Structure 1
Amino acid sequence: MLTLSAKAGNRNNRSVDWTGPIGRVERTANLFDAAVTAAGRIRASGALGLVPPTRIPQLAWALRGGVGLATVLAAFAARFPDRPAMIDDDGPITAADLDRQVQRLAAALRARWDVRRGQRVGVLCRNHRGFVIAAYAAARLSADLVPLNYGFAGPQIGEVLDRERIGLLLYDGEFHTRIDESGYQGRRVVIRGAAGGLPTVAELVAAGGPPVRGPAGGGSIIMLTGGTTGVPKGVPRTLGVRAAGSALAGSIPGMVAALGDLAEVEPIPRLGRPMVIAPPLHHTYGFLAIAGAFLLGSTALVHERFDAETVLADIERHRVQIACLVPTMLKRIMDLPPDDRRGYHVESLRMVVCGAAPLPPWLATAFMDEFGDVLFNGYASTETGAGTFATPADLRAAPGTVGRPLTGIVDIRIVDGDGRELPAGVTGRIVNKNPSMFQGYSDGKTKEMVGEHMDSGDLGHLDAAGRLFVDGRSDDMIVSGGENVFPQEVEEALLAHPAVADAGVVGVPDDDFGYRLAAAVVLEPGARTGARALQRHIKATLATYKMPRDIVFVAELPRTTVGKLRRQQLPEVIARARADAAAAVESDSIQDMGSRS
């Protein structure tokens, strides 16, 4: 407004450029206004109570072990020792007790196998306190930590263990068979379940050892990619204050500018309250979520297996204000009978953070219609780091968006194959520049760079308001008859049909078109529909060339532990479904001929 006034008020056409100085004044005023608003929201969130003054000496003592992953829990225990750090399927465990077990396990691992910096420790277990005890103990010893995906098959696990040179593996007893199939020859410790003669975490915690005195630092966490296109890659991230400091270096002005983004967050949750953390803890999302809960002094509510009604019951029982979920979990909640969903009092919810997989537009709208405008959608990746964040207002205005990048910190652009920036509305490569970009995979390879920006491997577009839409993976795009088709768009259209519970689309070879679209569909329990009805549904919402020519019905689709579709396996799933359908027709025909004779 000030800039417009300056332009209008320069009636003498003087050569002095007033718009520049006044524009800077306007930006400064806007930033100050955003800072004031953000400060009010910080107070409203209860952030000022996250460090009780009477516990400052205990907090300072906890920091003697260095500033790293394990310190996050130690600091929680120092501030709120009697508050449950976690409530899992075994019940609550206080922050003090959880931290004590971490420290004793670290001491036992050092005493028994001299685990320290430079060694690599793998952790393979479901969502329970054992994951935190094992992972944080490894971090306390400055060892490199490798969280493993419990959805991997034995051979996949074996390739990762071998490539990442895992010397010690802590895992749940239910995975004995997979570890045997992996061919792993290193040391093993069972976290929970049948031990089979191996040492257990409980035994090591009971035994303990001389306390680990030296500060933690220099270790890494090696997060794994989803493995949807093959063997998962390792993405090393250095732990500790030095790594954080170097990542934030030069970002302070950007962080100040990002105050305007914070001022737009509505509603504001109360920090320190219990949080639902449903994503797998081995995944980047779940791993960061539980660390964030500890940092905020919040009790983490976790379960070994996701159950929609259990989550709603947790929200009601613990007056949860923040819930971390993935899209498939939102859908399972919405698949509950309406009377069951509405039988829980979840009015305490202020923020449902969704991420890790595509969120269908219809699902975002349906969830907010049911639970209020509390849904936030995030977009990031293990390699590129921070990405975008969509508020409920964004999702209402532009369903399907993943939001905007954090002002002054994340720079996302859409470019063509030659790296030239594309205008709003045009699909191209999503490239990202931010302080948290990785430095390369553990095998020495890296992602393609476009100048200072990293290619995410995704294709997408921006709208006129600067909101990002992810259209699909670069390697998922199907060229059929000369037309480009993104399978995600077709899947979202199929999922909007009331009879469809899940859907996956892929390109299969075709003599005439090069590739044609084929879909595998899972129906809702008790629902009935046919391929032609679904094709008519697609034609009513999308261009004709986007209609799958082949649609098969299956019991389930191959997905990762966070709900991402394993698209590489779809051709095999579709071929098997076709063969089963053909065999069923042949069997019916033989039976019919027999009855006639």
Structure 2
Amino acid sequence: MKTIEEYLCLNADRYPEKPAVITPEEQLTYRELHQAVCEKAEALSDRKGQAVVFASSRPIDFLVTYLAIHRAGAIAVPLDKDAPPRRFRAIEEQLSTETFAHDTADVLYTTGTTGRPKGVVISHKAIMADAANLIAAQGYRHDTVFIVCGPLSHFGSLSKVFPTIVCGATLYLLQGMTDLNAFFRALDYPSRRLATFLVPANIRMLVLLAAKRLQRYADKLDFIETGAAPIAPDDMRSLCALLPRTRLYNTYASTETGIIATFDYNDTCIGGCVGHAMPHSRFFITDKGTIACQGATLMTRYAGDPELTRQILHDDTLFTADLGHIDEEGRLCIIGREDDIINIGGYKVAPTEVEAAALALPGIVDCICTAVPHPVTGSALKLLFVAEPSSVPDTKVIARHLATLLEAYKVPALYEQTDHIRRTFNGKLDRKVGASPGPSKGGEEEPTPNPSRGRGVICK
């Protein structure tokens, strides 16, 4: 089995002058990228078998360091560029006593939206299986130019590096989506096979704020993938209308499972559907209604937590907390998360279903459904929402709208307008915090600046 770094070496020989990685400020050819990786790997030669914790504010430096750590036989532990020194030191200390298997490539830390961040140990075998899954299912090619808009320290963006390098294609790295002009300048790159990965928050921002501008690139965008958090059906339909010839994929993946399944919703728009399993992956639904995954893309373990590992990974199967079902076509559909379910007077409510329904109402750009104490039922539903300044819907209008889409027990009893709902880099709702007056501090879980969705949407 070749590694990503071995494919980089091959492509440096085959396509030495082809752009391998581009940013708005600089670019490296395959020959130059390979040379930079080799030079950095020499400086890391004494770290073989050890975990190397790193971060960088410059995307190309980050990529070079990541690949060089692998080439040196060490384990890459990427952190956000704004990770505080205390977090850096704590992770270095935790991993200093770990012994890693020969095939270990990475330890990737989750964002911790439902608990403390966990160090997910990933093998080179899993990386290559992820690459093969994406190439086969989404059609990466040698002439693909893949625009990465998120932080490479998180699996959602990092996983796009793998198939791009294997194919000898080109990476275009951006520093997030806070600058829409930078994103559109990337779309101006002279290629007829542009592709990108956008979290649902970014898709909603483009649909609401830059629809006509995005439509101009309809013949250049080969495919767009979304994942990490669910995309609302209304946003799916809007994107299909704007980009009728672009393949639009909704993918099921996580740091623990790897890339499992994907679905082109520009063929048939089905909310919550993430399609068939990819070549190196399998899934099934447990008796509890949760999704279980198998195959070569699974994590190896959690670093420093054998008990948690045993709880979710056994019998060559990773048992998730995601609720789902398999439709008559054999496609996986996501409903929500088991640990997000709210009990209202004996009725089970998936908050994501309420959020998806609310976001279909004009004027609401983001929301979160939470549970609050109630003297009779024990708890009641409350909807916190962010509204467009020029179009703030009355709470009675919101309630009537929801009543047309949901069963009565799913319609929130309480409503509150807020100016911000906290999300992670991956566009997931931070259900530990919910609404907050502004961005977080410390750099560990900066919220995305754009509206998005919760976990799970209405299927069909």
CA distance in 2, matches of 1:150, 1:512: 48
Instruction: Count the aligned residue pairs.
Output: 427
Q: Give the C-alpha shift of residue 395 in structure 1.
A: 4.0
Tell me the equivalent position of 1:273.
144
2:302 match: secondary structure: coil
CA distance in 1, matches of 2:315, 2:20: 43
CA distance in 2, matches of 1:129, 1:541: 47
CA distance in 2, matches of 1:166, 1:526: 56
Distance 1:152 1:521, change over 3 A: farther
Equivalent position amino acid for 1:495 in 2: L
Equivalent position amino acid for 1:84 in 2: P
- Map 1:287-326 onto structure 2 (within 5 A): 287-306=158-177, 307-319=179-191, 320-326=193-199
> Given that residues 357 and 402 in structure 2 are in contact (C-alpha distance below 8 angstroms), is that contact kept between their aligned partners in structure 1?
yes
**Greater RCO (CA < 8 Å, at least 6 residues apart):** 2
> Given that residues 223 and 235 in structure 1 are in contact (C-alpha distance below 8 angstroms), is that contact kept between their aligned partners in structure 2?
yes
Tell me the equivalent position of 1:403.
275
Tell me the equivalent position of 1:225.
110
**2:226 aligned with 1:357:** no
**Could you tell me which of 116, 134, 146 is aligned with 2:65?**
134
**Greater C-alpha Rg:** 1
Q: Mean alpha-carbon deviation: is it higher for 517-526 or for 323-332?
A: 517-526
**2:371 aligned with 1:507:** yes
> Given that residues 364 and 395 in structure 1 are in contact (C-alpha distance below 8 angstroms), is that contact kept between their aligned partners in structure 2?
no
Distance 1:450 1:496, change over 3 A: farther
- Map 1:334-373 onto structure 2 (within 5 A): 334-342=207-215, 344-373=216-245
1:106 match: secondary structure: helix
- Map 1:196-595 onto structure 2 (within 5 A): 218-239=103-124, 270-306=141-177, 307-319=179-191, 320-342=193-215, 344-373=216-245, 374-392=247-265, 395-396=268-269, 398-406=270-278, 409-417=280-288, 428-443=289-304, 444=306, 445-446=308-309, 447-448=311-312, 453-570=317-434
Tell me the equivalent position of 1:147.
78
Q: Give the C-alpha shift of residue 350 in structure 1.
A: 1.9
Q: Give the C-alpha shift of residue 70 in structure 1.
A: 2.7
Specify which structure has the higher proportion of helix. 1
CA distance in 1, matches of 2:56, 2:353: 34
CA distance in 1, matches of 2:351, 2:256: 23
CA distance in 1, matches of 2:80, 2:268: 31
Distance 1:346 1:316, change over 3 A: farther
* Structure 1 unaligned residues grouped into runs of 5+: 1-65, 168-216, 249-254, 418-427, 575-597
Q: Give the C-alpha shift of residue 569 in structure 1.
A: 0.9
Distance 1:520 1:404, change over 3 A: same
Distance 1:565 1:541, change over 3 A: same
CA distance in 1, matches of 2:18, 2:150: 23
Q: Give the C-alpha shift of residue 458 in structure 1.
A: 0.7
Q: Deviations over 1:435-478 (max 9, x none)?
A: 32223211223143586533111111222222222111111111
CA distance in 1, matches of 2:58, 2:10: 22
- Map 1:80-119 onto structure 2 (within 5 A): 80-110=15-45, 114=46, 116-119=47-50
> Given that residues 413 and 430 in structure 1 are in contact (C-alpha distance below 8 angstroms), is that contact kept between their aligned partners in structure 2?
yes
Tell me the equivalent position of 1:173.
none
Q: Deviations over 1:541-591 (max 9, x none)?
A: 1112112222222222211111111111127779xxxxxxxxxxxxxxxxx
> Given that residues 315 and 346 in structure 1 are in contact (C-alpha distance below 8 angstroms), is that contact kept between their aligned partners in structure 2?
no
Query: What is the TM-score normalised by the length of structure 2?
Result: 0.84
Query: What is the TM-score normalised by the length of structure 1?
Result: 0.66
Distance 1:452 1:275, change over 3 A: closer
Q: Deviations over 1:154-208 (max 9, x none)?
A: 65555434323399xxxxxxxxxxxxxxxxxxxxxxxxxxxxxxxxxxxxxxxxx
Q: Give the C-alpha shift of residue 117 in structure 1.
A: 1.7
CA distance in 2, matches of 1:294, 1:395: 30
Distance 1:304 1:458, change over 3 A: same
- Map 1:29-48 onto structure 2 (within 5 A): none
CA distance in 2, matches of 1:482, 1:450: 32
Specify which structure has the higher proportion of strand. 2
Equivalent position amino acid for 2:23 in 1: D
2:419 match: secondary structure: coil
Equivalent position amino acid for 2:217 in 1: H
> Given that residues 231 and 271 in structure 2 are in contact (C-alpha distance below 8 angstroms), is that contact kept between their aligned partners in structure 1?
no
Distance 1:395 1:313, change over 3 A: farther
1:231 match: secondary structure: coil
Tell me the equivalent position of 1:54.
none
Q: Deviations over 1:287-317 (max 9, x none)?
A: 1201221221112111113134433332233
Distance 1:382 1:345, change over 3 A: closer
CA distance in 1, matches of 2:236, 2:65: 36
CA distance in 1, matches of 2:224, 2:325: 25
> Given that residues 342 and 348 in structure 2 are in contact (C-alpha distance below 8 angstroms), is that contact kept between their aligned partners in structure 1?
yes
CA distance in 2, matches of 1:366, 1:244: 33
Distance 1:529 1:162, change over 3 A: farther
Q: Deviations over 1:34-93 (max 9, x none)?
A: xxxxxxxxxxxxxxxxxxxxxxxxxxxxxxxx9434333323322211122111131222
Equivalent position amino acid for 2:294 in 1: K
Structure 1 runs of 4+ off > 6 angstroms?
Answer: 571-574
Q: Deviations over 1:319-371 (max 9, x none)?
A: 243222221121111122444334x3341222112112112112111101111
Instruction: Work out the percentage of aligned pairs sharing the same amino acid.
Output: 27
2:301 match: secondary structure: coil
Equivalent position amino acid for 1:221 in 2: D
Q: Deviations over 1:241-280 (max 9, x none)?
A: xx789x89xxxxxx9xx9xx96xx79x6653232212232
> Given that residues 478 and 487 in structure 1 are in contact (C-alpha distance below 8 angstroms), is that contact kept between their aligned partners in structure 2?
yes
> Given that residues 218 and 242 in structure 2 are in contact (C-alpha distance below 8 angstroms), is that contact kept between their aligned partners in structure 1?
no
CA distance in 2, matches of 1:157, 1:468: 38
